[in-house]
Chain A
């Protein structure tokens, strides 16, 4: 069965420190993974996707198929990074696409 697991509900780091948000997935097909972010009082929006191998707002995420992980990393956290982060997996079953989300991690950057 397809599943996305974010083991940390809450993560708190100091400004300037490295941050890593963990995401593990379970999927029998070829995974297509995303990170979505929800800033305070804003709607959920795409942060980055593994297929584009991009860096957005200093964040990167590498797909590790061996460990079935897609951890989100940033070397130096900033206060504006405080938000709710969701890892998501796009699944295809009988021709229908579904986006499956993890439980979310609330990241707080302390000054």
Chain B
């Protein structure tokens, strides 16, 4: 049981390049999210998904696209990288809505450190 796996761990991009950050989970969780972590800003939600085929925007969605074709995978695409997207990106997953306490714990990947030059 690997949990939440993100690839790559590190990436350097030139301004204008595109790339996809991969996220996969093997816990059959319905909810998946992408956050970016910046100093003094905490974790900000980029996009999230409540199940396969369903995605929605978070606080800071501009410049990013997502899709959820399977329960396991939730890739984050940078269409044209900008220096302002230099950050650490975290993917997280949770079980679905419900009353059970364990449904609400979020499990995080190890993060992807992205630098845009």
Q: Are A and B bound to each other? A: yes
A101 on the interface (CB 8 Å rule)? yes
Chain B interface category by residue count: 20 to 34
With contacts A44-B90, A86-B42, A86-B43 taken as known, whether A99 is within 8 angstroms of B106 at the C-beta atoms is yes
Chain A interface category by residue count: 20 to 34
B33 on the interface (CB 8 Å rule)? yes
With contacts A9-B40, A43-B110, A103-B40 taken as known, whether A97 is within 8 angstroms of B101 at the C-beta atoms is no
Bound Cα distance A56, B66 (Å): 35
Nearest first, the 9 A-B pairs at minimum CB distance are: A103-B42, A101-B43, A44-B108, A104-B42, A43-B110, A43-B108, A101-B42, A46-B105, A102-B42
What would be 15 A-B contacts, judged by CB atoms less than 8 Å apart?
A: A4-B42, A32-B104, A34-B104, A43-B90, A43-B109, A43-B110, A44-B92, A90-B104, A96-B48, A97-B31, A97-B50, A100-B45, A101-B42, A103-B40, A104-B43
